[in-house]
């Protein structure tokens, strides 16, 4: 069993810690709001008062935060993860950030004698809880081989994709399709609804049709009723879409459907729906179609 650390105990991060604890690992955790982590402390997680204390206590430290600014805040400074790293330790960043930001952070980690891999995941809270999460890893292969058994305790599908930053490029390539698929699904539902088909019937048919990807199957019903807590809100989805558009410009890859879908996320934010699950793109298109819930 491993001695692990985890910084960032949001919806996904906390569920990952829960799985790691259930596998018998020792986990020291930190979150900006301790009360949100109390259920993990009750389950056996050790509490640390700073990210530095987490990485100082652990052999392998994980982090899962919202964006590039958040990863800087949790890693930099005297209380950051970098300050607690030393020779032989490993930092696994599960956050979805810019590949260039991640590569720069990996260089700082190696200056400490430690090593880092970027290891974003594909899936939702449900797929994580059900043990069906997909994990991608970018970095040195020997470091990947050291952390692979730990990542398999989080999800059953772990894939090494290459050097630092490449797992993030792969994650961005996946996530742009989430919003694009949601946009196409919304168009289909609304076309059926304005033809005279009940919305619930259209959703049922589409989520059991040839277009029903796993994402459509679990998020499609959100056009009928939003979840009590967003699985992946508009702000988070747009952050990934902007990362995709930035990468597309850098690599000269046109992303037309990404660009259009991103505009509907902007509209959702402008309409006060930034904290709702990004399936609310449907509501934006519905209002443009003259339909209200």
pLDDT in tens, 102-158: 999 999 999 999 999 999 998 877 778 887 889 999 999 999 999 999 999 999 999
**What is the pLDDT averaged over residues 163-191?**
97
Global pTM reads 0.89
Give me 215's structure tokens.
């994402």
What are the domain boundaries of the chain?
3-164, 169-288
Model confidence at 260: pLDDT above 90? yes
pLDDT of 13: 93
Q: If we measure between CA atoms, which residue out of 236, 246, 242 comes closest to residue 280?
A: 236
CATH number of 169-288: 1.10.1040.10
Q: According to CATH, what is the number of the domain 3-164?
A: 3.40.50.720
Residue 40 confidence (pLDDT): 96
Using a pLDDT cut of 70, give the percent of the chain over it.
Answer: 100
Distance CA 280, CA 293 (A): 12
Question: In whole numbers, what is the pLDDT of the chain averaged over residues?
Answer: 95
- Asked if residue 53 lies in contact with residue 84, where contact means CB atoms within 8 angstroms, the answer is yes
- Strand 60-63 and strand 3-7: the pairing is parallel
Residue 10 phi/psi, 5° resolution?
A: -75, -160
For strands 121-122 and 134-138, give the pairing. antiparallel
Residue whose C-alpha is closest to residue 116's, from 156, 144, 155: 144
Q: What is the mean pLDDT of residues 247-271?
A: 97
Pairwise CA distance, residues 189 & 212, whole Å: 13
Q: Which residues of 278-287 are buried (b: 16+ CB within 10 A; e: fewer)?
A: bbbbbbbbbe
pLDDT tier, 293 (very low <50, low <70, confident <90, very high otherwise): low
Helices (H), the chain: 11-22, 38-43, 51-57, 68-75, 81-84, 99-111, 125-129, 141-152, 166-195, 199-206, 214-219, 234-251, 256-270, 281-288
Nearest to 209 by CA among 180, 184, 238, 177: 184
249: nearest Cα among 180, 182, 174, 172: 172
Return the higher-pLDDT residue of 162 and 218. 162
Length in residues, the chain:
293
Cβ atoms of 290 and 277 closer than 8 Å: no
Tell me the C-alpha distance between 139 and 114, whole Å: 12
Question: How far, in Å, are 26, 50, 97, 114, 123 from residue 81 at the CA level?
Answer: 18, 8, 17, 11, 26
- State residue 250's pLDDT score: 95
Here the contacts of 141-150 (C-beta below 8 Å, separation 24 or greater) are 143/90, 143/115, 143/116, 143/117, 144/117, 146/60, 146/90, 147/60, 147/90, 147/92, 147/117, 147/119, 150/2, 150/4, 150/20, 150/25, 150/60, 150/92
Q: What is the mean pLDDT of residues 34-49?
A: 94
């Amino acid at each position: 069993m491993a001695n692990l650390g985890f910084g960032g105990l949001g919806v996904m991060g906390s569920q990952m810690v829960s799985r790691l604890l259930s596998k018998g690992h020792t986990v020291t955790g930190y979150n900006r709001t301790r009360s949100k982590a109390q259920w993990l402390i009750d389950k056996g997680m050790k509490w640390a008062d700073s990210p530095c204390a987490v990485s100082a206590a652990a052999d392998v430290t994980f982090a899962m935060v919202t964006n590039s600014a958040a990863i800087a805040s949790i890693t930099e400074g005297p209380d950051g993860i970098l300050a607690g790293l030393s020779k032989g330790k490993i930092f696994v960043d599960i956050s979805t950030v810019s590949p260039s930001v991640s590569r720069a952070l990996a260089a700082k980690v190696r200056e400490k004698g430690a090593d880092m891999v970027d290891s974003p995941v594909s899936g939702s809270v449900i797929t994580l809880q059900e043990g069906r999460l997909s994990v991608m890893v970018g970095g040195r292969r020997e470091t990947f081989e050291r952390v692979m058994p730990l990542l398999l305790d989080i999800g059953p599908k772990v894939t090494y994709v290459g050097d630092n930053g490449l797992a993030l490029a792969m994650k961005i390539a996946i996530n742009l399709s989430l919003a694009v698929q949601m946009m196409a699904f919304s168009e289909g539902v609304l076309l059926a609804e304005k033809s005279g088909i009940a919305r619930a019937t259209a959703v049922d048919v589409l989520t059991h049709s040839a277009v029903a990807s796993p994402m459509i199957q679990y998020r499609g019903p959100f056009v009928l009723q939003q979840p009590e807590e967003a699985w992946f809100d508009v702000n988070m989805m747009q952050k990934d879409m902007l990362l995709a558009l930035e990468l597309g410009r850098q690599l000269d890859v046109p992303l037309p459907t990404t660009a259009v879908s991103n505009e509907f996320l902007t509209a959702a934010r402008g309409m006060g729906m930034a904290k709702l699950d990004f399936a609310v793109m449907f509501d934006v298109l519905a209002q443009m179609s003259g339909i209200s819930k």
